[in-house]
Chain A
Amino acid sequence: MPLTDSLRDDILASVPSLRAFAISLSGNGDRADDLVQETLLRALANIDSFQPGSNLPAWLFTILRNLFRSDYRKRRREVEDADGSYAKTLKTQPAQNAHLEFEEFRAALEKLPQDQREALILVGASGFSYEDAAAICGCAVGTIKSRVNRARSKLSALLYVDGADDFGPDETVRAVIGGSGG
Chain B
Amino acid sequence: MKDVKSQASKSAVPGKQGGLNAEIQSRIGHQLRAMYDDVVRQGVPDRFADLIRKLDASEANSQLGATGETKNDGRD
Residues of A participating in the B interface, judged by any CB pair closer than 8 Å: 3, 8, 11-13, 15-17, 19-21, 23-24, 33, 36-37, 40-41, 44, 79, 81, 86, 89-90, 93-94, 97, 101-102, 105-106, 109, 120-121, 124-126, 152-153, 155-157, 159-161, 164, 169, 172-173, 176-177, 179-180
Contact = CB atoms under 8 A, between A and B. Distances in A.
B15 to A, nearest CB: 4
B1 interface: no
B31 A177 contact: no
Chain A interface SS verdict (over half)? helix
15 contacts: A3-B56, A11-B52, A16-B40, A24-B35, A37-B51, A40-B51, A44-B52, A86-B47, A102-B31, A124-B29, A160-B15, A160-B24, A161-B16, A176-B14, A180-B23
Given A121-B36, A179-B27, A164 B20 contact: no
B56 A12 contact: no
Given A40-B48, A79-B51, A120-B32, 5 more contacts: A16-B42, A24-B36, A156-B18, A160-B24, A179-B30
Contacts of B56: 3, 8
Contacts, number: 128
A12 B42 contact: no
Contact of A159 (B17, B28, B36): B28
Contact of A20 (B23, B37, B46, B59): B37
Interface residues of B, number: 38
A109 B33 CA distance: 12
A155 to B, nearest CB: 5
